[in-house]
Structures are given as C-alpha cells and as structure tokens.
A = this chain, B = another copy of it.
Amino acid sequence: MNDNPIGEAVTEAEVEKTLESDCDCKDGMFPQGKIGTASRRAFLRSGGLLTAAAAIVPVKALAQDASGEAPWSVPGRIAKSDYGSRAPFEKVARLASFGGTSSLTPLQASTGIITPSGLHFERHHNGIPAIDPAQHRLIIHGMVDKPMKYSVEDLKRFPSTSRILFVECSGNSNAASRSASQKTAQEAHGLTSTSEWTGVKLSTLLAQVGIKDGAAWVLAEGSDGAMLSRSVPIDKMLDDAMVAYAQNGEAIRPENGYPMRLILPGWEGNINVKWLRRLKIGDKPFMTREETSKYTDLITLTGKARQFSWVMEAKSLITFPSGDMRLPGKGFYEITGLAWSGRAPIERVEVTTDGGKTWALASLQEPVLPKAHVRFRFPWHWDGSEAIIESRATDQTGYVQPTKSFLTAKEGVGPTYHYNGIQSWKVATDGSVSNVLNA
C-alpha cells in the first residue's frame, strides 16, 4: 500500500555488528553497576572528565571513528553553557524583507505552535532600540485621576497573566494576494508567530490610575526612533489587553519590544506597540500616521479605505508540504499547518488535495487556544499525480476563510493589509511543490 515506505529494514546481524558489540547487553542483561568496555572506550575517546569544558570540534570529525565502527557512541564535544544555543548543524533562519525593516518566520520548518523567540518575525520602523530596562518607564496620563509612571520592576509587582497568542503583521501575505511569485511559506506568509506572553493586564493598570468620564481612546506610543503610535479603543484595553514584559518564559526579545510591549490579542501586529513608553487616555482617536496614511485598507473597487480594521480574521496555511520542497516519492505524507483567528477560537480546519473540489476535516492539536496558532494535521496518501493542496479555517463565529477570488470580487485585487485568502500549493508529478494561484 505504501509506495515509498519510511525507514530502512535492518537485520539482527547488522544490529549485532553495530550496536550489540558496542555495549554490555548481548545477553539481554546488563551486569549491574559495571562500566562496560564500550563505556570505557567512549570515556577514553572523549578525553574523560575534561570533556565537559571542551569546545565544539569540527563537524567533519564527528561522523568518523578510527576503529572503523559506525559512529554510534558519540563522545561529549559540545561545551555545557549557562545559556544554551542550538546545534551547529541547524541552519533554519529568519529572512529579511521590506529592505531589512522586517524578518519573516520560517513557517515551513515550524513544529507545534510555539515559535522560538529567535525566529519570531519582526518589523521595525526605525531600527531596533537597545533600551536599558533600568532607565525605561511607562507613563500613563491624560484623562486619568492619577498620572503614573512605572518601571519594569514596578510592572512585575502587579498581578500577572500569561497567554499563548499569535501576533500577525497586518501586511502579512500582502504579495500573496496578487501573485504566486513568493516561493515558500516563509516568503509568502512569514509575518506571523506565536509566543507565550506574560505581563500585567491593562485593566489592572487603568484601575490604578483611574479613568475619567468620557475616556474612550488610548494613545499607545513606543520609544523607538520612529515613536510608533496608535490609538486603541478603551474597551479593548479593558477587555484582554496587557503590557507584556516576558516572551516564552524570559524577557521579551529586543526586536519584539524589550523591555515592554502592548499586547492586544488577535489584533494586527502594528498596534501591539513595542518598546512601549506611554499610554495617553483621551476621548477621541489620535489620528497618528500609522492609522491614517498607513495601516488602512484600500478597497480598490470603491476607492475608499477602511480605517481601524484591527482584527486579524480566520486564516490558515499548510506548512508541510509547502513551496520549494520536494516529496521523495509517492506514498504516505502528513499534511500539516497552522490556523488562527483574532476573532474567535478556531472551530475547524478543512484540507483539500484536489484544488477545492472536495474537502475533509483535519485534526486539531490540543490545546486549541483562542487567538493563538493552532496546529492541524491531515493524513495523505499521495498517488504520484499532480495535486493542489489547500487548507481552510473556520472560527467559532462561523466565519470561513475566503478564497482569493472571493476577496478579489469583494474588495478588488490587492488590499495591502489583512489578506487572509486560501493558499494553494501544487505538488507536481516529480514531487516538487510550488506556490500557485488557484480559484
């Protein structure tokens, strides 16, 4: 049934040669407490107790062994560290875009739902500031009873909250709305990532300063060179907004707002203001550059622009197999990807392998968390013929991720922001996978 079986058959004779001769368990029992010959051999090879302090040796040496044995027992050669690094063999990386003002997450290499902080997408408007947390303050003022300022240490004294949440740039997938020229999932959709964020709820901070009657909007301003500023309705602030100081269990990374960042779950990345220095409470929106000349959605059919379109609607993406990969042959593959919605929890994800003629339910990895990436999986036996594979997310409001042609008809081709159309990958008969435009 499986035309391209996974793995390679071995014989017990081969195992005897490569493994059993290398340990003390030939008879299925280990002499209790004995340090066997192989252990001693490995110990000597590794330089004994000096190993722990040794630096990494050239990679080439590792696959070889003077004795001619298979390199099964590998001496310790990576130095222990107080803050670890990934293996020197790993090369997965962010990809610079927008002239170096953003970096894309390698979604095609993603597993599970957490994005490693080192691979979280970034977007900056005037560089990444190096902010000394001891100097930094958050000021809350305007229509409040008691204007206050807070250090990072102050924020950590308030009741805290942690949430696993996606952040997505509203410009993510922009080019994908018009063409299939971007080869990989990373190039086409890499401006979204998921982290566990920890901080203090805005409702806690606003309770302390006291909001005056008539307060309706909050100016959020960053301390980066661009002083990026956005207006946030106070209802969102009192709902689920937080000022985060931690990401994936440690301080927020510099490119993601160190030492503090506004987190507005489910809303476009730009308004999750990084390097946050103040919140000014007012009675009307502040009409900053980033919500007037930028980050509005031009509807080309009408020539008008939507303003304050914050929520990232339901979207999904197959990350494996995806563009620029090559399947080694027909047989079993697990189609997997990510789905998310800033509106409501993901209700279901469907997958098609025939370009949308038929759809079937994918399984969702628990826990399915609101406003976070959700990992979906779908078993597939590829018969070797050309296939168009797509995923389609539906959230608990009933909203269904639209096709590109639907968005085109509704909004005109080329909305710059908030593009969430279905992504199509073509698997060619030679197993190569490419980005294509489908209905």
Contacts and interface: CB of A to CB of B under 8 A. Distances in A.
Interface of A: 6-12, 15, 18-19, 22-23, 25, 28-30, 32-35, 38-39, 42-43, 45-46, 51-54, 56-57, 59, 62-63, 71-90, 92-96, 100-101, 103, 109-120, 122, 124, 126-135, 139, 141, 146-151, 154, 157-162, 196-198, 208, 219, 221, 223-227, 229, 245-246, 248-251, 253-255, 258-259, 275, 277-278, 280, 282, 284, 286-289, 292-293, 332-334, 336, 365, 367, 369, 375, 377, 379
A148 B9 contact: yes
Contacts of A249: 110-116, 119
B129 A78 contact: yes
Nearest to A253: B84
Given A28-B286, A45-B225, 5 more contacts: A29-B286, A42-B226, A54-B127, A84-B120, A111-B246
Nearest to A19: B278
11 contacts: A6-B154, A6-B157, A6-B158, A6-B208, A30-B229, A30-B287, A52-B101, A52-B127, A89-B133, A114-B249, A162-B375
B42 A86 contact: no
A139 B19 contact: yes
Contact of A39 (B225, B258, B280): B225
A42 B9 CA distance: 64
Contacts of A157: 6, 332-334
Contacts of A128: 76-80
A147 B12 contact: yes
Main secondary structure of the interface of A (DSSP, over half): loop
B118 A84 contact: yes
Nearest to A109: B250
Contacts of A88: 130
A81 B59 contact: no
A433 to B, nearest CB: 15
How many copies of this chain? 2
Contacts of A229: 23, 25, 30
Nearest to A75: B225
A422 B23 CA distance: 41
A280 B224 CA distance: 57
A331 to B, nearest CB: 8
A36 to B, nearest CB: 8
B253 A77 contact: no
Contacts of A54: 127
A15 B135 contact: no
A127 B46 contact: yes
Contact of A116 (B22, B25, B34, B117): B117
Contacts of A114: 114, 196, 248-249
Contacts of A124: 76, 80
Contact of A196 (B35, B113, B158, B208): B113
Contact of A224 (B76, B245, B251): B76
A119 B282 CA distance: 42
Contact of A149 (B8, B23, B149): B8
